A and B are shown apart, each in its own frame.
Chain A
């Protein structure tokens, strides 16, 4: 079967939200869709699937009104046969229904046996224990982000089981997985891929996986080379006209970059220490420990020297961001000790110390979600106003700094643009740049590659390497394990875990 091409235009009362002429959906193939955050990947996919509100937006698909698109028998069949896994697991689940009821709602109840899916997605946990989790109402704190994500995947796989058992090969399908592994570590991501490809082999159906995780390419090439004929890697990028274009993304581009980029993390012994965090600390009644080995054998202090890049690893929810916020004095620990550029800080240290000596002086931090960390109502220029710089950034200097992470010439209109009107990827680059323009000894980066397209990832990594060479100490927290595992050598990787926890045997390799 060939590609089904959609021409999609979505406008609000004020502006064109997204416009694309060539959104191709290869039928009964697996498409990995990349592109920077906010470019329109989710919105276009939702429009094609028929999930947008026709009254809220002005939508046209292939020249037809959205109301006509929704009435088409093909759209209705797709909705009947397929499933859409939303990016944000919390917004997908209904807080007023138990999970148990939600996973058996509507056509999902036709999939009687879900044990194979459960045992696969929750590989380390007993099936009965997982089923107990389903008896609760989703709350902000339980299930965790990773658990919620797997619950959504469970629903999608149940729908796939229904498809495999009930529908013929000709039934049109369009399974969309919007950032299906955003809250999962590589181990669970790989389990998801394995199950998906196993089902696909049984009966090919149309799959669209929207992701920022370029390392998924390596996994596909490593383990599913036999399926490469059925797999497409595509990327959305913005044209100068403001419209969006879909083009093939060459996996070699990513794999080649990964091979030739090796920062090694910098020299250690000759330089002075910038940060040393004691190996164990306690916060929110949890004791957390830092290790050098993946197997969590020997506790060790986290040490970062000048000109060194260190990567802190742990599964989602263990406390990587918590540790970063502890170093920055944003949480009050029960037990904690560190040396930061010559200043000893413990759990008893008064907050004013960070105010006077640390923030913007000895250390700066880039937060995980650019949308939440930036003032969306401010202009690009105002983002840099108020920073503790020696002199205020003049427009020319600011443009030059922005040019390091943004493409093309920076126009006056861009620096006076409201942050809210930037794409997700642009916001993330701005978020990074705000901290990188300061000359701090330590820079903590929490998910610095979040929401970036491949070109931006390479630019950001070059910029980080430049800062490292200039003598800054960098502490990285990221889900992009493959990138940092490859470009940094082992002595620059630390692991964080509960002090009592040992890594399961099957994940030690």
Chain B
């Protein structure tokens, strides 16, 4: 089957339109009944509790590596005592949200795409519509709400664990004073850092879940199509998330510049 440039352009515009509608409906559904609270809690358990081990592990070791790398550079300028500050600011403002987002995208966006994709290609989504249930309310909104909430919580946990990882390196390998590490790490965090650290996972959670659901619900072509949708969901969610990170950071720097 051959497609002209016009066909490709039309398809892409249609995809953007469908994604935008899905994203809009996922929010609008919150304000109309029926609301699927049990499904939302179940998804929060799958996304939040299920992602906890990988978020804790990657957060801890990344914090440790960050402390080790930054100490090496800081030592040249006699600023080894700033290790805690550097780890906490880097993690809370940037690495924590992005790292956690990538972990959850890898685990949950793919999970959503494959689950909804399998339902789509086996007519289960049509069956749900035929039974008088709105799949957007039953399947998408609970996943979006739970991903947004759980990603914020996971990011906070990742930030704390990574600071602990940095602390372990600082105390046992760099021979820094533990109290000094924690006090510089804690006191260096300002209101802007906290806002940035919590707003990013809010936006990232929305991007990850809506893109995962979109690729799932748009899956065509049997098991191969589901596999393709799963890969595309992971790639698109990660790329869009990192691009949006640039714009959020630039926007928030206007309100909360580095002091």
Q: Does B associate with A?
A: no
By a beta-carbon cutoff of 8 Å, the part of chain A in contact with chain B is none
By a beta-carbon cutoff of 8 Å, the part of chain B in contact with chain A is none
